[in-house]
Structure 1
Amino acid sequence: MTVTAPEVPAKGRSLWDDARDRLMANRAAVTSLFVLVAIALLSVFGPMLSPHDFDTVYRDYVKVRASLQAYPRAEQVEPGFLAALKRARLSVESYRRDGDSVVASVSSRREIDPRAVRYVDRSNLFRNAQLSDISADGKSAVMKADIDHMHFYFGTDSNGRDMMARTFIAGRVSLTIGLLATIVAISIGVLYGATSGYLGGRTDQMMMRVVDVLYSLPFIFFVIMLVVFFGRNFVLMFIAVGAVEWLDMARIVRGQTLSIKRQEYVQAAEAMGVSDSGIVRRHIIPNTLGPVVVYMTLLVPKVILLESFLSFLGLGIQEPMTSWGVLISEGARNLQGAAWMLIFPSIFLTSTLFALNFIGDGLRDALDPKDR
């Protein structure tokens, strides 16, 4: 007589398992996720790997074009070297270029000060300047310096700062403010709206009147008040924006909750004695995630634009720190003479927005309970 082992019941699939599989099957959403991760990694690690600091000013490279070739160009070397020697009050008797070095015979009516090499080193085109073959009377010598090759792949701005490093560091600021402010707004709005819609009655009316009162407060007045009390800092930016933007989220979730709480599974949970908090947490909030995700993808770019507006008014990000919105604003003012100042920050910003939209669409379809 053989004894058969009892059959192990098949493990059920949760909403999150189904949502993950449907999301991974959406090619546009998966590709956008990789793009968003790549932009985030560039924003985090790009400034560390960049050969230039985001706040370093190169006076000799103001508004230079984006290029894969190294600067200075051949036609810039001689005028730059002669200009540096002129500032040092030295007369040039002869000049030649020796590979990656420049050599000039110089003279002066007075004895040449050895500190004259500083005028050459201060130029962004040269380094390691040195005097040699100084004459007995000290009025003539040979000045030699190495050409300092630099790459500006995204060009430079109107102050001579590397646009690639500034675009990467701006990504840190814009993404951080956008994501953190969105998380603050979503967390407050979802809990507030779901609680208000589920409880209903006078509680719902009172909670919505609070939202209406907050709606009547001007956003700029609220931000200025926070700046006066707490000072201007980076953390204040996403707290101020997130503390205002949750109002729309609360109304959206409340409207969804009013229809969801009439569903049979919610009534069944009430009949089984599940607490109000348990119903809101396990049934109401998970079934509102579709609209929440879609709104979140719209809120992140909105927050980035709000941050740019506040920075323009002097209430947000200040120099030398920057953001994508600030860079785009500066690029728009210099569009005719320096289009690269607008192109590269715009590419990063629009790529981020497109990626968020595709990811939002994919998550909306994946989290829709009707598609399970």
Structure 2
Amino acid sequence: MSDITQEIGTAPERGRSLWDDARDRLLANKAAVGSMIVLAVITFLSVVGPMLSPHEFDTVYRDYVRVPASLEAYPRAEQVQPAFEKLAQRARFNIDSYERNGDVVVVKVSSRRAINPKSTRYFDRSDIFKNAQLLDMSEDKKSATLQADINYLHFYFGTDANGRDMMTRTFIAGRVSLTIGLLATAVAIFIGVLYGATSGYLGGRIDQMMMRVVDILYSLPFIFFVIMLVVFFGRNFVLMFIAVGAVEWLDMARIVRGQTLTIKRQEYVQAAEAMGVSDGGIVRRHIIPNTLGPVVVYMTLLVPKVILLESFLSFLGLGVQEPMTSWGVLISEGARNLQGAAWMLIFPSIFLTSTLFALNFIGDGLRDALDPKDR
């Protein structure tokens, strides 16, 4: 009797939803999980990296133009004395003796006329020295001891043709490219899902008319359309790629329309119609939620497509412009300087290709996880 009571009092086990099964299948896909980790690392570096970097993305170091990537700090030991002599010549100093004590350079200088204390700004404006000061000035002010600290800088990804830190610019470029990809994709998904679901559910002449609008937009030359956007919106990449997202929704609309034509024949949709639910309510509550599987998969494929599109437009000079940058802009600059500065192309290309591969692997994993035939 007690066993029967215990069995009656036992709570029923909670069933597993289809989303739980899809999540487990996705996590079992090693390529998709590894890609999510890679994408998370790249996103973290793009967001936090510029804040932690000692260099601003638009700071120009005139003494470090196109220096190679290195873990060792600049300047090199053999660069210090020639750089100091060059600055002393600009300040019209004669070097009587040169001595280096660790990170401090101590030089006895002289001049034919009185030394101006403001001459130290020639050294402070340099990227190699800092905290320059004149000591032990003679009574006639024609000789003194000039002391300056060596300003060590790290350029782990090297510098570009203008002397800007490539690591910071690569991180900033990732922030811009990922933002553009997500922004344009969000616009495309919103318009495409709403348009396709409405067209497929209403059907008939309305469906035919709405799809003919899509066909007309498909026939427009894309590059010509982008040039018109640049003319109307200028160089504001946010507005331009919102408009680009408003063009990329065409594929999404067709995908959702095809799904909707199948879903609207299901029993639960017919039951909602019999209960008097409005067309807008059926589309919002039943049609759109049941198309989320293909939509999520297509979104992971659309983001790299938009990033590549942005890279292509920036390569042509129609996208992001200086001093702001993106992976496309950096790759364009790197291609022009490939022969003498290969690092300018290597690092942005690694970040871009890693992001594209990660998004495509994630899309494949989601496609397999959400495939109803595998449930």
Task: Please indicate, yes or no, whether the TM-score normalized by the shorter chain is above 0.5.
Answer: yes
Alpha-carbon distance between aligned partners in 2 of 1:31 and 1:306, rounded to the nearest angstrom: 25
After superposition, where does 1:1-372 map in structure 2 within 5 Å?
Answer: 4=5, 5=8, 8-262=11-265, 276-281=279-284, 283-372=286-375
Alpha-carbon distance between aligned partners in 1 of 2:194 and 2:177, rounded to the nearest angstrom: 26
SS of 1:62 mapped into structure 2? coil
SS of 2:134 mapped into structure 1? strand
Question: What amino acid is the match of 1:243?
Answer: A
Alpha-carbon distance between aligned partners in 2 of 1:136 and 1:215, rounded to the nearest angstrom: 83
Q: Is the 8 A contact 2:235 2:321 kept in 1?
A: no
Q: Is the 8 A contact 1:194 1:284 kept in 2?
A: yes
CA RMSD of aligned residues (A): 2.4
The number of equivalent residue pairs is 372
Alpha-carbon distance between aligned partners in 2 of 1:26 and 1:92, rounded to the nearest angstrom: 68
Deviation per residue, 1:193-241 (Å, 9 max, x gap): 1221232211110001111222233334444444454543242033111
SS of 2:351 mapped into structure 1? helix
Alpha-carbon distance between aligned partners in 2 of 1:230 and 1:67, rounded to the nearest angstrom: 41
* Structure-1-length-normalised TM-score: 0.92
Q: C-alpha displacement at 1:52, in angstroms? A: 0.6
Q: C-alpha displacement at 1:279, in angstroms? A: 4.7
Q: C-alpha displacement at 1:158, in angstroms? A: 0.5
Alpha-carbon distance between aligned partners in 1 of 2:228 and 2:341, rounded to the nearest angstrom: 38
Q: Is the 8 A contact 2:233 2:240 kept in 1?
A: no
Uncovered stretches (5+) of structure 1, i.e. residues with no partner: none
Uncovered stretches (5+) of structure 2, i.e. residues with no partner: none
- Of 307-316 and 346-355, deviating more is 307-316
Q: C-alpha displacement at 1:55, in angstroms? A: 0.5
% identical equivalent positions: 82
Alpha-carbon distance between aligned partners in 1 of 2:281 and 2:374, rounded to the nearest angstrom: 24
Question: CA 1:10/1:35 → structure 2, altered by over 3 Å: closer, same or farther?
Answer: same
Q: C-alpha displacement at 1:106, in angstroms? A: 1.3
Q: Is the 8 A contact 2:59 2:164 kept in 1?
A: yes
Deviation per residue, 1:96-132 (Å, 9 max, x gap): 2111111222111111111111111111011011111
SS of 2:127 mapped into structure 1? coil
Question: What amino acid is the match of 1:110?
Answer: R
Q: Is the 8 A contact 1:66 1:155 kept in 2?
A: yes
SS of 1:321 mapped into structure 2? coil
- Of 236-245 and 296-305, deviating more is 296-305
